[in-house]
Amino acid sequence: MRLAHLEDVDNIVALLNETTLDLHNKGIQQWTYPWNKDGIKQQVIDSTVYVSLAEGHIIGTFRIENTNRPLFIDAEIYYLSQIAVSPAFQGGTIGSAITAFACSFAKKMNKALYLDCWAGNEVLKAFYQRNGFEYIGDYPEENYFISVFRCM
């Protein structure tokens, strides 16, 4: 895993779009399709986007940002978001490697790490709990609820 580079933007957007359509086909509407390339480019410039590689190809992406979102308990935290693993690699170890990397990163920086997901995604919620995240609760966001977790 490494920080994303500007030359990765097209591949990151393609992966996010592929993953979003896969989620939509499963009835999970948390993300909007299509992703905004300029927005992802700015996130890469801001050094908040990471990629996971296999044989030189991007198979996963995620974002770690420093934030003070009022929803969370701790004042200044890291927020793990935009976790996307290529559908061809889902069910393996990539997701666990991403969450372990992010938790380790936050611990090294002495900050709490939070993430959330659509509250109706029971499979993902169980995955986060198996991978060391504590369930905090469900909270309203726009027209649905999110489940919030903190890395332990």
pLDDT digits (tens, 9 = 90+) for 16-50: 999 999 999 988 877 899 999 999 999 999 999 99
Q: What is the CATH number of the domain that holds 12?
A: 3.40.630.30
Tens digit of pLDDT for each residue in 84-134?
Answer: 999 999 989 999 999 999 999 999 999 889 999 989 889 999 999 999 999
The residue segments making up the domain with residue 63 are 2-151
Q: For residue 73, is pLDDT > 70?
A: no
pTM score of the predicted model? 0.92
Q: Encoding tokens for residue 128?
A: 């986060």
Number of domains in the chain: 1
